[in-house]
Structure 1
């Protein structure tokens, strides 16, 4: 049915179509089959029924995050949320690269702010059977970016199962500089100190546009500060020469199919440096069960997707669940955790 509706949605501005997708999730929807038990695993002290998660950016304010389990997701990440409301960059700011299966966005952390999200999530409570993550960032005009992350940790911790510190969006000027060794050392020290002793697991989301020395520094600091996991990766500022769409020259972060090879390469880099000492979440360009399985065999314990649903429809996670279960059994595994990183051992 989605393939029949897609031309109508693609005739709309991309941001308006995204708004319709959020509205549709508020309606009664048929639930996808429960994930096969072979996909279940425990990470960060949390029980994931499926390794397939919704990446941040789809539900920035937590309006429908409790509904995404019906699509087959084992976890969903809302945000990015900043301490104060933020309108983001001028429209248009989302562009489909249809010929390439990609998306470029330069949204700029548009969101309603953490206080409003706290009130909404507090009324609703945490849904049963679905792991909820919250992605936090800094306001564009803040005088102390690290203080914004500290504020986010304190405000959002009660409302989630895990937190993600996002220092890798290309759409807030200067934000990615927080990935530099000195800045990242200070940031991680302060956000980990801001987390309560019984606070949620803390993840760090990084960019794909890294040099080998950057990978070394981030891996070392993540271990030193006892970060619970890394999300590899956010969108890229690079533009592969293979892009064919007329929108390829738009500024912003590129996601979807064109990001696949770069994101997989960064995952392998971090797995090589970290081994199994730190769980990795693979994100970027995953569109099929085979691609999800390749990310798991390369070292990802979990995977995230978002852009692929624009092209494949809302029940893509359920199809990936079914395909992953078949691939695991084909290769003789009895649980997904046995397959994590087998290509890198």
Structure 2
């Protein structure tokens, strides 16, 4: 039973849902959540959604990678933390080495601060990505291989450098995980570590006020551009991502990960792939055309083939299902796709109404 939580990146796409569920879950025993944000604007965003919440406090950490960044944030005499949930966002960051990447440095700064100053913490949960799992080399990714938690993206930092932001993002998730697990192995702290590796994340935003279509996170921005703001005859790029999870289900997985058992076989570290099911671009388009009339001429009408490319890689979520059991139930694809599209259309109407 968790009572006091430190949540980083609390205004983000995923973390805002985690924050909401911490307070609203029927089984929640939360006494206090400290939300870590980088800017005062992010703090204002949270206060807009959770006004006058006596169980919520906010602290600003402008640079997660700075030396001692979290030292004061993890100290809470009145509400000593049981759990830390770290949702790092590193897309757009660049670095000459893995060790210098802000996502890697930020994770180590947080783990070090918890070990030094927060002895009541029992569990740290970190958001990674299936980008840290999959080998994207076509010689592997097109052989029908099903990746699981024992797999690692084999990319080196030297190989990631020429690939720019996207390549470094994938590599940084991998090296962040490795750094975090090495920390646990080396220091043997009093807390366990759970790392979640989600597939593509779609779903409605928790924060809508003041948000525009240019402010969307990467996956929802792709969803809007490809499926809701195109033309009926549009041709879509070749699909390379084959599995997804609703952001609300991923948020639930993070909360479950704060108390789930870590089997002895995994020591103090547990790695879990999180996804709901495979999907195709055509499946998303068919759902939208059938359920959202406003998109009848804006969603591509794709060819009849609705199967994953022969030889396309897959993912296994068997370990997560075993660990979480019936506590994690994935929403239907129709719910995710339709609710997201309708919300984005509402944002579009608001922008047009305001003259943007």
Shorter chain as normaliser: what TM range?
A: 0.3 to 0.5
Pair member with larger Rg: 2
Q: What's the TM-score once normalised by structure 2's chain length?
A: 0.33
User: How does the TM-score come out when normalised to structure 1?
Assistant: 0.34
